[in-house]
Structure formats: structure tokens, C-alpha cells
Amino acid sequence: MLKVSNLSVVFDGITILDKISFTVPTGSTLAVVGPSGVGKSTLLHAICGLVRVSNGSVFVNETDISAIPAHKRGIGLVSQTGDLFPNMTVSQNIEFGLRIKHKTKADRTARVQELLEMINLSSLAHRNVMQLSGGEVRRIALARALAPEPRVLLLDEPFSGLDEATHEQLSKDVFQLLSDLSITSIIVTHEIIDAHRCDEVVTLKK
């Protein structure tokens, strides 16, 4: 379960987020919608621990993680552009979090293979990430975020900038995957159809 309580982010007197509170039950998906510039991405970064929070708390399974640095929170993030490491192959990107956890090579290989099959991209294991299409980048970024088995997964407009057919297919696949894995997740999206695929919807307003 993820609980955000009175979360505020203020920079130089400008309030980006003002006392945001919501709860995401374990295994369910929450959509966060709202106009551009309202602070949706900042909300995800604040939950991850990537930006400074002025007030409020973040709880994961009843534990207050507000003071815990980002790399120890166990919260995965799939950004808008994927942010794959350009100096690594597809496999190396996906196994990154597993190397950090000192998993054995055998375990890493098995997990990478498993995830590549989940996202239907097994043939791209050794591909240079600079050669991937937009849809493939999003899938690999998702696989990378899932590899270390995060407690919570955050997705920041994971389907933006894709053509309609790719968007539709990717959206279906991602939601199916999240459902199969029963992973607590938050998706920031502009698309109503994607918001309706989620269990709950939260609207941020200016």
C-alpha cells in the first residue's frame, strides 16, 4: 500500500504541490490526471525521493519513507522518455537494478529473460538501446523498473508521443502486466481511456 499524506512541495515561495493526500491499496492502480504544469511529474518525483518535500509524508506499507533517500525506497519509476542508459545494451539496462542488489549472473540472466518474454522483446536482448523504437524504449524501461521487484511502481506518461496503434497495444500490455504482477502503481496520464483502465483516478488542479 502507498499512502501520501499532506504532501507539499514549495520552491522559492511558489507552491508546486499543496497538501496532496491519497491512498493506493496494495495491488491496485491509480491514475493521476490534470492539466499541464499542475505538478503531476513533481508528485511522482516527490514520492520517489528525487525532489525535496516541504511538508507531508509518504508511507509504504505503513512505514514512513519520507526521510529515506531515493535509492533505498524500493519505488520504481518509468519516466516519460524511458531514460535508458545509452552506454548499455537492452539486457544490461534491464539487469541494472539486479546488479545493484548483487544478484548472481545466473539469477540476473534468468530474470532478464523472464521480463523480456513478458514484454515480447526477447529478440532484442543484445541490441544497442539507441536503435530502439519509441514503443520498444517504453517496454524496456518498464522491464528495467520491474526487474528489482519494486514495492511501488510509478509511470510518468508512459504512452505519450506514440502513434495510436502502438499506444493502444502498449497500454493494453502494460495494464495486463500490472494486473498479473499485482503491483501497486500510479500512472500519470493525459489519456482518458488509460485513466479508465485504472482502479482509481485522482485529479490534480491548479
Partner 1 sequence: MAEYMERHHLVSKTKTLLIAPVVFLSIFFVVPVTNTFLRYFRFSEFSSVLSSQPLRGVAWFSLWQAVVSTLLTLTIGLPATWALSRFTFRGARLARGILVAPFVLPAVVVAAGVLAITDSRGVTPILWAHVVFNVSVVLRIVGPRWSMVNHRLEHAAATLGARPSRTFTLVVWPHIADAVISAATLVFIYCFTSFGVIAILGGVSRRTLESEIFTQAVRLGNTTTATALAVLQALIISLVFLVVRQLRRSPSLSLHVSAPQALRTKPTHRLTPFIIIAIAVAVVASPLVATVYRSLVINGHVSFTAWRTLFSGSLPALSVSLQSVVTTSLVFAIAAACICVPLALLVATTSAPRALFSLPLVVSAATLGIGLIITFNTSPYAWRSERWLIPVVHAVIALPLVIRALEPATRAIPSSLRHASATLGASPFISWVRVDLSILKPALLRATGLSMAISLGEFGATSFLSRSGSTTLPIAIAQLLGRPGVATQQAGFALAALMIIITVGVMSRA
- By CB under 8 A, which span of 72-80, 107-115, 162-170, 185-193 interacts with partner 1? 72-80
Backbone angles phi, psi at 154, to 5 degrees: -115, 135
Based on CB atoms, which residue is closest to partner 1, 32 or 141?
141
Output the nine-digit C-alpha cell for 172. 493494453
- By CB under 8 A, which span of 43-51, 56-64, 181-189, 198-206 interacts with partner 1? 43-51
Output the nine-digit C-alpha cell for 156. 510518468
Looking only at the bridges linking them, the beta strands covering 152-156 and 75-78 are parallel
Q: Residue 165 in 3-state DSSP? A: helix
The minimum distance between CB 74 and partner 1, in angstroms, equals: 8
Based on CB atoms, which residue is closest to partner 1, 34 or 74?
74
The β-bridge partners of 8 are: 55
The minimum distance between CB 147 and partner 1, in angstroms, equals: 8
Q: Are 107 and 98 in contact (CB under 8 A)?
A: yes
The minimum distance between CB 168 and partner 1, in angstroms, equals: 26
**What's the gap between Cα 171 and its chain centre?**
14
Instruction: Select the residue interacting with partner 1 from 13, 14, 36, 71 (CB under 8 A).
Output: 71
Interaction of residue 69 with partner 1, rule CB under 8 A: yes
Interaction of residue 204 with partner 1, rule CB under 8 A: no
- By CB under 8 A, what part of segment 91-120 binds partner 1? 96-97, 99-101
How many CB atoms are closer than 10 A to CB 76? 23
Interaction of residue 143 with partner 1, rule CB under 8 A: no
Instruction: Select the residue interacting with partner 1 from 39, 56, 76, 135 (CB under 8 A).
Output: 76
Interface with partner 1: number of residues (CB under 8 A): 35
Output the nine-digit C-alpha cell for 198. 485504472
What's the CA gap between 172 and 52, in Å, rounded?
Answer: 34
- Using CA atoms, how far residue 89 sits from 70, 95, 143, 181, 202, in Å, is 24, 10, 13, 25, 36
Give the residues lining the site for partner 1 (CB under 8 A).
11-12, 45, 48-53, 69-77, 79, 81, 83, 85-87, 96-97, 99-101, 130, 144-145, 147-148, 150
